[in-house]
Amino acid sequence: MDKISYLENIEEIKRLKYSYFQACDINNLNQIKKIFATGNLYIDFENFGCFTDLDSFLEQYKKQSIKRNQVECHYGKNPIFKKIDNSILGIWALDYYLFQTKKQLMTNITGSYEDLYILENGRWVIEKSKFRRNSMKTFDVSNVINLKKIN
């Protein structure tokens, strides 16, 4: 892979990961499904769970993340990439906010993703993804703002 092709692939991978963050924020399961490999898959998100198939991951996602009084905001940043044979390793920092509108709580989690990206049917997908927390803080925001979910 020449330098131009490598940089073009990195841009595609960045768009893929950003679309994952956006899909999580708006609870778009169909979009999340398109992000991951259909064959050999490994997802390890600490307390969220460890998965080797996409259906199990999506079931857990539905249980934990799609709630009427909950808003999620994923901010991925500072990606670092390394080519490994025909795949690309990506390390991302995450700044995540969970707003629980009924309880008037805000949780902030920071951590990092380590993803292995592969080409599948001509497009980049995530074959392996591991998330590890660096910090987690929960704040009572009832006296600061009135959290409401729009829609």
Indicate the pTM of the whole model: 0.91
Rounded to an integer, the average pLDDT of 136-151 is 77
Would 132 be classed as within a structural domain? yes
Q: What is the CATH number of the domain that holds 102?
A: 3.10.450.50
Among residues 130, 126, 117, 129, which one has the least CA distance to residue 1?
A: 117
* Residue 145 domain flag: no
Question: Is residue 147 one of the residues assigned to a domain?
Answer: no
Within-domain flag for 150: no
Burial track 110-146 (b if 16+ CB lie within 10 A, e otherwise): ebbbebbbbeeeeebbbbbbbbeeeeeeeeebeeeee
Exposed (0-12), middle (13-18) or buried (19+): which is 68, by Cβ within 10 Å? exposed
Query: Over the stretch 1-31, which tens digit does the pLDDT of each residue have?
Result: 789 999 999 999 999 999 999 999 999 999 9
Specify the number of domains making up the chain.
1
Q: Within a domain: residue 149?
A: no
Torsion region of 56: left, alpha or beta (phi above 0 gives left; psi -120 to 50 gives alpha): alpha
- Identify the domain containing residue 23 by its residue range: 3-140
Length of the chain: 151
Rounded to an integer, what distance in angstroms lies between the CA atom of residue 74 and that of residue 81? 20
Q: Give residue-wise pLDDT tens across range 88-133.
A: 999 999 999 999 988 999 999 999 999 999 999 999 999 999 999 9
